């Protein structure tokens, strides 16, 4: 090579030859604080029943190319976790002199008892622009493990579990007047509790009880919950039926509820006072009594009736089994064909589910070649189109541009890796394929026709 060409070429390689290799990896973007994640819990002191806000901030010095994939559910033992809405809060912040684009999502965590609550660490996958504006690979930011303590105020200690809320109300209704009660009557009592900025399952059980002579039959409580722009409210309805079994005076014990008012910062006492019932004899209520002779005669009649009913029931059973056996014999060929078809279809559905699960697990490991193999294997068990199963046909059928891009990138990564082609995203690919599968199954259930003219995709039998 000529010397006057060699020197500029070396300089060019030194300046530009490493561009492809110098693309920042996910680890480098995290280490350089190009992307960051931050979590915080508010307020500092959290009471039982109070809504704690867990805010998760995902930040980048450039901009997001895909929406960060925040988890829908957090596993916090013995706490109620309310997931965030579908949209995060976008903002910008200056940290150490650097401006960051920030997306925030907020989870509501409500402790149900006294003790330490631990929020395990979790990952948030995201894709951002690098410093040179190129697309990054998928970055998985991991939060730190957090914990907080659920407690009750000092003023409420010794009163059992006292729930804290921004508001709590109770009312009771009776199905009838409590005057002129007689033996044999029944009365329904309804207690309705309402709670603000918390969940209704924390509303206390009234604990209905009554003295001997009054039957108590509580019904299953009914809960109702509503959410609006982060605000929660709910109600609990408890019903009990009292049956008056004897005459006399009876006192239903008072119902007392203690709760902590977060607005006023004080302990509240709610409930209903003791209820007095006067139950009179009921001359219209006839209670038959029998002597020894009448009882013995009645028992003999019952035995004869039972014996006759037994013979009649036996003959009816024999006759019914004979008719049923004859029908089975006449329909034996159709029943055998139906059973075989059901068994084949059931086997196809199980095989399709097994192959789809295998595809999702393989894709998440990030091996492009194995992902292609398992995806085609699943399509072979699921595809019902006239053309053979293939990634290109599947992509065109789906009508999903993002899925088509992911499948193209997957094929390049598996068969002809190239730095000029964007890398495929395992999480995005699984998400898009699952969405197409769900849509096709819904269409099948509704009996809808696919607009492309291909048959609806569904599990099919394989011979």
- Contact indicator for 359, 381 with CB cutoff of 8 Å: no
Supply the mean pLDDT for the chain.
Answer: 81
Beta bridge partners of 195: 168, 234
Of 76-90, 133-147, 249-263, least confident by mean pLDDT is 76-90
**b (16+ CB within 10 A) / e for 267-294:** beeeebeebebebeeeeeeeeeeeeeee
For 397, the token pair is 């059928």
Residue 124 is predicted with a pLDDT of 95
Reduced to 3 states, what is the DSSP secondary structure of residue 349? helix
- Contact indicator for 375, 433 with CB cutoff of 8 Å: yes
The pTM assigned to this predicted structure is 0.52
Residue 349 is predicted with a pLDDT of 66
What is the rounded average pLDDT of the residues 278-298?
71
For the ranges 89-93, 317-321, 341-345, the one whose mean pLDDT is highest: 89-93
Which residue would you say has higher pLDDT here, 332 or 261? 261
Which residue would you say has higher pLDDT here, 257 or 385? 257
**DSSP run (H or E) holding 350:** helix 332-365
**b (16+ CB within 10 A) / e for 300-330:** eeeeeeeeeeeeeeeeeeeeeeeeeeeeeee
Of 130-139, 249-258, 394-403, 418-427, least confident by mean pLDDT is 418-427
What is the rounded average pLDDT of the residues 160-166?
87
Beta bridge partners of 258: 269
**Does residue 194 have a pLDDT over 50?**
yes
**Does residue 272 have a pLDDT over 70?**
yes
DSSP structural state of residue 156 = G
**DSSP run (H or E) holding 380:** helix 368-382
- Alpha carbon distances (Å) from 437 to 292, 371, 372, 391, 462: 74, 17, 17, 14, 19
Residue 453 is predicted with a pLDDT of 37
pLDDT in tens, 6-15: 444 444 433 4
For 159, the token pair is 């009163």
Beta bridge partners of 35: 60
**Does residue 408 have a pLDDT over 90?**
no
Long-range residue pairs from 95-98, CB within 8 A, at least 24 positions apart, any chain: 95/36, 95/59, 98/33, 98/61
- Alpha carbon distances (Å) from 433 to 275, 363, 366, 375: 63, 11, 15, 9
Reduced to 3 states, what is the DSSP secondary structure of residue 128? strand
pLDDT in tens, 433-454: 998 888 887 776 665 443 333 3
What is the rounded average pLDDT of the residues 69-88?
86
For helices 368-382 and 332-365, what crossing angle results, to 10°?
160
What is the rounded average pLDDT of the residues 27-54?
91
Grade residue 338 by pLDDT with cuts at 50, 70 and 90: low
Residue 17 is predicted with a pLDDT of 40
The strand pair at 214-218 and 222-228 is best described as unpaired
**Does residue 174 have a pLDDT over 90?**
yes
Residue 59 is predicted with a pLDDT of 96
Residue 462 is predicted with a pLDDT of 37
**Main-chain phi, psi angles of 317, to 5 degrees:** -65, -45
**Rg, C-alpha atoms of the chain:** 35
Residue 85 is predicted with a pLDDT of 78
Q: How many residues does the chain have?
A: 463
What is the rounded average pLDDT of the residues 132-139?
93
**Does residue 458 have a pLDDT over 80?**
no
Grade residue 294 by pLDDT with cuts at 50, 70 and 90: low
Residue 188 is predicted with a pLDDT of 97
Grade residue 344 by pLDDT with cuts at 50, 70 and 90: very low
**Does residue 23 have a pLDDT over 50?**
yes
Q: Which of 109, 64, 70, 72 is nearest to 90 (CA)?
A: 64
**b (16+ CB within 10 A) / e for 225-246:** eeeeeeebbbbbbbbbebebee
**Does residue 195 have a pLDDT over 90?**
yes
The strand order across the sheet containing 181-182 reads: 181-182, 275-280, 248-252
Residue 416 is predicted with a pLDDT of 67
Q: Which of 173, 171, 200 is nearest to 187 (CA)?
A: 173
């Amino acid at each position: 090579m000529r010397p006057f060409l060699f020197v500029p070429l070396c300089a060019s390689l030194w300046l530009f030859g490493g561009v492809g290799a110098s693309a920042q990896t996910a680890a480098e973007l995290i280490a350089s604080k190009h992307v960051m994640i931050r979590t915080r819990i508010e307020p500092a002191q959290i009471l039982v029943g109070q809504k704690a806000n867990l805010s998760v901030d995902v930040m980048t010095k450039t901009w997001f190319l895909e929406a960060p994939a925040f988890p829908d559910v957090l596993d916090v033992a013995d706490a109620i976790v309310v997931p965030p809405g579908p949209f995060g809060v976008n903002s910008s912040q200056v940290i150490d002199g650097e401006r960051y684009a920030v997306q925030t999502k907020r989870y509501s965590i409500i402790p149900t008892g006294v003790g330490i609550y631990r929020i395990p660490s979790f990952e948030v996958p995201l894709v951002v622009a690098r410093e040179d504006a190129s697309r990054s690979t998928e970055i998985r930011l991991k939060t730190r493990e957090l914990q907080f303590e659920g407690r009750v105020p000092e003023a409420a200690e010794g009163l059992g579990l006292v729930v804290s809320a921004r508001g709590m109300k109770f009312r009771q209704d009776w199905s009838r007047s409590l005057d002129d009660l007689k033996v044999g009557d029944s009365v329904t009592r309804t207690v309705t509790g309402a709670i603000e900025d918390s969940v209704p399952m924390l509303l206390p059980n009234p604990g209905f009880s009554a003295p001997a002579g009054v039957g108590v039959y509580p019904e299953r409580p009914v809960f109702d919950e509503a959410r609006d722009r982060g605000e929660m409210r709910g109600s609990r309805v408890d019903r009990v039926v009292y049956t008056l079994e004897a005459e006399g005076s009876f006192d239903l014990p008072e119902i007392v509820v203690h709760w902590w008012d977060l607005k006023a910062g004080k302990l509240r006492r709610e409930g209903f006072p003791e209820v007095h019932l006067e139950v009179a004899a009921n001359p219209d209520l006839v209670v038959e009594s029998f002597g020894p002779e009448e009882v013995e005669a009645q028992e003999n009649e019952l035995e004869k009736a039972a014996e006759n009913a037994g013979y009649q029931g036996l003959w009816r059973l024999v006759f019914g089994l004979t008719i049923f056996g004859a029908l089975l014999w006449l329909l034996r060929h159709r029943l055998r064909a139906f059973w075989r078809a059901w068994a084949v279809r059931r086997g196809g559905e199980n095989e399709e589910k097994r192959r789809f699960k295998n595809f999702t697990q393989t894709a998440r490991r990030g091996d492009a070649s194995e992902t292609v193999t398992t995806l085609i294997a699943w399509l072979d068990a699921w595809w019902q189109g006239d053309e053979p199963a293939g990634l290109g046909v599947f992509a065109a059928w789906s009508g999903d541009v993002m899925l088509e891009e992911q499948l193209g990138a997957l094929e390049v990564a598996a068969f002809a890796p190239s730095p000029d082609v964007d890398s495929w995203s395992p999480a995005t690919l699984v998400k898009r394929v699952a969405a197409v599968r769900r849509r096709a199954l819904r269409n099948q259930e509704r009996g809808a026709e696919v607009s492309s003219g291909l048959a609806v995709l569904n599990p099919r039998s394989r011979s």
